[in-house]
Amino acid sequence: MPINVHRSAEFTVRLPPDQTMPLFTAEGERRWAEGWDPRYPNPARRDGAGAVFTTAHGANETTWIMVDHGPERVRYARVTDSMTAGIVAVDVLESDERVTCVRVTYDLTAFTAAGEEWLAEFDAHYDTEIASWATDIAAALERPEPA
């Protein structure tokens, strides 16, 4: 089983980069990622380098720390208790006033047997998972934005 997984995948969002990149913030993902429900230890600090939030997926809780956020990149450090840790990045590869091509990169390391098992499953389904992000974002863009 893998101890470390480094994977990237690319897709296009039908928005300019200044509207695309906010979709990859903790609050922006609420618009398109079903079940995404970040919780903040400091609700006044939801964005910017150093912002911290947690998410729950099944029995696992993940702590996320925004490392940096700019017009063409957002990067997080993440630790899933007793399983994995690493970096997640979304980078703009190219764009114009109507579309933005992004690359999503996960670089994760397992530090337990449970983490190795989870990471092997994650690796096996990575391309399908990121393709579903593209589909989910496109569907969300067809719906009116929540008020």
Residue 147 belongs to some domain of the structure: no
* Closest to 81 (Cα-Cα) out of 57, 105, 45, 52: 57
Q: Residue 97 belongs to what domain range? A: 4-142
Span 81-117, pLDDT tens digits:
989 999 999 999 998 989 999 999 999 999 999 999 9
Considering the domain boundaries, does residue 78 fall inside one? yes
Residue 60 lies in a domain: yes
Instruction: Note the pLDDT tens digit of each residue in 47-83.
Output: 899 999 999 988 889 999 999 999 999 999 999 998 9
| Within a domain: 42 | yes
- Read off the pLDDT of residues 8-39 as tens digits, 9 standing for 90 and up: 999 999 999 999 999 999 999 999 999 999 99
**Residue 76: CATH number of its domain:** 3.30.530.20
Alpha helices in 62-112 (DSSP H): none
7 closest CA partner among 124, 100, 116, 138: 124
Structure tokens belonging to residue 147:
């008020």
Q: Is residue 103, in this structure, part of any structural domain at all?
A: yes
Q: pTM for the whole thing?
A: 0.92
Number of domains in the chain: 1
